[in-house]
Amino acid sequence: MSRVLIAGCGDLGSGLAESLIDMGHHVVGIRRTGSQFPEGVVGVTGDLREFSEGQLPDVEVIFLIMTPKGRTEEAYRLAYFDTAQALVRRYQYQATQPQVFFVSSTSVYGQSQGQWIDESTLAEPKSATAKVLRETEDALAQAFSFCTSIRCSGIYGAGRFRLIEKVKSEQEWETNSWTNRIHRDDVVSALVTLAKHAINNTALPPVVIATDLTPVSMWEVKLWLATSLGAKPTIQNNSGFVPDTGKRIQGQHLLNLGWQPRYPSYVVGYQSLLEEYKHQSVK
């Protein structure tokens, strides 16, 4: 049995925690607000930045899975960098350091002219929020000998209907671009895969990309959704169907570790999401 800390036990963290509990591990989960935790998790509610060292348990594995309160640089710094510093203060100088995982984002790749991106690509963030994520990755990597940043592409899944509702409302489509995404359940299974390898003392790379196997044109996704919803496509600008902006992301390290996505493309993932959306609309 290993001791695992999930700092940020929200949607993704709870999914990970449930799997780890089923595997027989001891899990402490921390969330900023709320008191609902998966069964078997030692739940703690509070702001991790305000915890004393004594409030944070001795563990072998840590997952940092935070959600900012907004999309500003300040919100990202509070959620990611400042929270990471609390973990650094507590665990950096332990005789045996924990394996640390930080759930980051592919937004750290600022490339936007249709380039192919993988784990060997240099991360050159352009936005202020992406720069904070990159700073957090660096801070953790410098503090811990065993640290992996998990760069996730756009996460979708149960209850996340923003794109569906946008297409259904027949709002004008923005300029076409390459888009990359990953289903929420596949993020959780990727985290479980990494946890298993960490617990078995497998050497892990400093960066892994979590994304599905199908980079795609945003208009292709919208056209498929519009057809499924019976909505009218609303293309009113002059950009082409083949994008010349955005990036095409592929990850290899997780596949090498034995991970396989349940939803390898948006078609598979959105089919179940559309069923959920239509079911809720009938109520």
Main-chain dihedrals φ then ψ at residue 43, nearest 5 degrees? -95, 135
Rounded Cα distance between 53 and 258, Å, is 36
Supply the pLDDT for residue 282: 60
Confidence of residue 240 (pLDDT cuts 50, 70, 90): confident
- Asked whether residue 244 is assigned to any structural domain, the reply reads no
- Asked whether residue 12 is assigned to any structural domain, the reply reads yes
- Is residue 85 predicted with pLDDT exceeding 80? yes
- Asked whether residue 165 is assigned to any structural domain, the reply reads no
User: What is the chain's length?
Assistant: 283
- Four-CA torsion 11, 13, 14, 18, nearest 10 degrees: 140
Instruction: Determine the average pLDDT of the residues in 13-26.
Output: 98
Instruction: Determine the average pLDDT of the residues in 26-35.
Output: 95
Closest by CA to 247, choosing from 173, 156, 180, is 180
- Is residue 283 predicted with pLDDT exceeding 60? no
Domain region containing 108:
3-157+182-213
- Asked whether residue 275 is assigned to any structural domain, the reply reads no
Closest by CA to 61, choosing from 25, 11, 86, is 25
* Gyration radius of the chain's alpha carbons: 20
Instruction: Pick the more confident residue, 50 or 239.
Output: 50
Instruction: Determine the average pLDDT of the residues in 10-21.
Output: 98
CB atoms within 10 A of CB 191: 26
User: Which residues lie below 8 Å from residue 196, measured CB to CB, with a gap of 6+?
Assistant: 23
User: Using one digit for the tens of pLDDT, what is the confidence trace for 90-139?
Assistant: 999 999 999 999 999 999 999 999 999 999 999 999 999 999 999 999 99
Mean pLDDT score of the chain: 95
- Asked whether residue 261 is assigned to any structural domain, the reply reads no
For residue 115, the number of C-alpha atoms closer than 13 Å in the C-beta half-sphere is 12
- Asked whether residue 282 is assigned to any structural domain, the reply reads no
- Domain total for the chain? 1
Supply the pLDDT for residue 46: 96
151: domain CATH number? 3.40.50.720
- Asked whether residue 33 is assigned to any structural domain, the reply reads yes
Percent above pLDDT 90 for the chain: 91
Rounded Cα distance between 110 and 153, Å, is 13
- Asked whether residue 22 is assigned to any structural domain, the reply reads yes
The per-residue b/e assignment along 25-39, b for 16 or more CB within 10 angstroms, e otherwise, is bbbbbbbbeeeebbe
Supply the pLDDT for residue 241: 80
